[in-house]
Amino acid sequence: MAGRRVYGGGDGGSISGVSSNHSVLLHNRGGSFASEPLSALFLSGSSSSTSPSLLDCSGIGSRSMMSFEDIRGGNGSNRSFFCPFDNEDNGDEDLDDYFHHPEKKRRLSADQVRFLEKSFETENKLEPERKVQLAKDLGLQPRQVAIWFQNRRARWKTKQLEKDYEALQSSYGNLKADYENLLKEKDSLKAEIVVLTDKLILKDKERSNSVVSEDDKFGEEPPQNLVDEASKSSKLGCKQEDMSSVKSDIFDSDSPHYTDGVHSSLLDPGDSSYIFDPDQSDLSQDEEDNLGKNLLPPCIFPKLEDVDYSDPPTSSCNFVFPIEDNALWSWS
Partner DNA sequence: TTGTGTTTTATTGCCTCC
Partner DNA sequence: GGAGGCAATAAAACACAA
Binding stretches for DNA (CB under 7 A): 1-2, 4-7, 9-11, 19-22, 24-25, 77-78, 81, 103-108, 113, 125-126, 128, 143-144, 146-148, 150-151, 153-155, 157
Q: Which helix (H) or strand (E) holds 180?
A: helix 142-218
Query: Rounded CA gap, 281 and 245, in Å?
Result: 9
Q: Which of 108, 160, 106, 152 is nearest to 126 (CA)?
A: 152
3-state secondary structure of 2: coil
Question: Taking the complex as a whole, how short is the minimal distance between the CB of residue 111 and DNA, in angstroms?
Answer: 11
Give the nearer residue to DNA in terms of CB position, either 17 or 128: 128
Query: Rounded CA gap, 166 and 100, in Å?
Result: 48
* Cα dist from 160 to 165, 167, 173, 257, 301, whole Å: 8, 11, 20, 34, 58
Query: Rounded CA gap, 290 and 39, in Å?
Result: 95
3-state secondary structure of 238: coil
Rg (CA), the chain: 42
Contact 18, 99 (CB under 8 A): no
Give the nearer residue to DNA in terms of CB position, either 81 or 258: 81
Query: Rounded CA gap, 143 and 41, in Å?
Result: 13
Give the nearer residue to DNA in terms of CB position, either 108 or 246: 108
Question: Taking the complex as a whole, how short is the minimal distance between the CB of residue 21 and DNA, in angstroms?
Answer: 2
261's torsion region: left (phi>0), alpha (psi -120 to 50) or beta? left
Question: Taking the complex as a whole, how short is the minimal distance between the CB of residue 160 and DNA, in angstroms?
Answer: 10
Give the nearer residue to DNA in terms of CB position, either 35 or 318: 35
Question: Taking the complex as a whole, how short is the minimal distance between the CB of residue 95 and DNA, in angstroms?
Answer: 15
Question: Taking the complex as a whole, how short is the minimal distance between the CB of residue 161 and DNA, in angstroms?
Answer: 9
Question: Taking the complex as a whole, how short is the minimal distance between the CB of residue 145 and DNA, in angstroms?
Answer: 9
